[in-house]
Chain A
Amino acid sequence: MTLAKALRVAFLVSVGPVLALVASDRAIVLWRAHWAWVAREVPPLVLDPYRLEGILRSTAPGRQNVLLLGNSVTEQGFDGPALEQRFAARGLRFPKLTLGGAPALTFGMLAEPIAELEPALALLVVSPPSLRSRGYEDYVYAYDAREVPGLFSAREWLAAPRFHIDGFAGQLHVLARHRRAMQRAALVWLGTVDWSGLEHQEGKARVGRMLDGADMLQAWLQQPEPDAYPNPNTRALGVLAQRLREHGARLVVLEAPSHPIQEVLLPPERIAAAHQELEQLAAEDDFTLVTRAELPPLEEDDFSDWVHASPRGRERLTTFLGDYLARTL
Chain B
Amino acid sequence: MFQMHRLLVAGAVVAGSLWLAPSLASATTGGCLIPSAAASQYMSVTGSNIVNNLSSDLRICHNQCEMLRQGCARVADTAMKCVVASAKADENSAIRECNGLSGSSKSSCKDSAKGNLKSIFQFVRSDKSNNALPFCESSFQSCLSQCGVSED
Chain B's interface: helix, strand, loop or mixed, by majority? helix
A13's nearest neighbour on chain B, judged by CB, is B10
Q: Point out the residues of chain A lying under 8 angstroms from B7, CB to CB.
A: 12, 16, 19-20
Range, interface on chain B? 35 or more
Contact A17–B10 (Cβ < 8 Å): yes
Contact A179–B13 (Cβ < 8 Å): no
Chain A's interface: helix, strand, loop or mixed, by majority? helix
**Shortest Cβ gap from B97 to chain A (Å):** 5
Is A325 part of the contact surface with B, judged by Cβ < 8 Å?
no
Query: In the complex, A17 Cα to B15 Cα: how many Å?
Result: 9
Stretch at the interface among A83-91, A145-153, A169-177, A246-254: A169-177
**Shortest Cβ gap from A303 to chain B (Å):** 8
Contact A206–B11 (Cβ < 8 Å): no
Among B31, B46, B85, B90, which residue has its beta carbon within 8 angstroms of that of A203? B90
Among A71, A179, A202, A217, which residue has its beta carbon within 8 angstroms of that of B21? A179
A211's nearest neighbour on chain B, judged by CB, is B34
Q: Point out the residues of chain A lying under 8 angstroms from B13, CB to CB.
A: 17
**Shortest Cβ gap from A46 to chain B (Å):** 8
Given contacts A16-B7, A180-B24, A268-B45, contact A194 B32 (CB under 8 A): no
Is A78 part of the contact surface with B, judged by Cβ < 8 Å?
no
Interface size in chain A (residues, C-beta < 8 A)? 64
**From residue 200 to 220 of chain A, which have CB atoms closer than 8 A to chain B?**
200, 202-207, 209-211, 213, 215-218
Contact A16–B34 (Cβ < 8 Å): no
Query: In the complex, A17 Cα to B3 Cα: how many Å?
Result: 13
Contact B26–A215 (Cβ < 8 Å): no
Contact A213–B97 (Cβ < 8 Å): no
Given contacts A199-B93, A204-B90, contact A211 B123 (CB under 8 A): yes
Contact A210–B83 (Cβ < 8 Å): yes
Given contacts A139-B28, A196-B96, A218-B33, contact A20 B11 (CB under 8 A): yes
B18's nearest neighbour on chain A, judged by CB, is A175
Q: Point out the residues of chain A lying under 8 angstroms from B24, CB to CB.
A: 141, 177-181
B15's nearest neighbour on chain A, judged by CB, is A24
Contact B11–A24 (Cβ < 8 Å): yes
Is B61 part of the contact surface with A, judged by Cβ < 8 Å?
no
Interface centre among B31, B87, B96 (most CB of A within 10 A): B31
12 inter-chain pairs at a CB distance below 8 angstroms, sorted by A residue, are: A12-B6, A24-B11, A49-B27, A199-B97, A204-B90, A205-B26, A206-B28, A207-B83, A221-B41, A265-B33, A265-B41, A304-B31
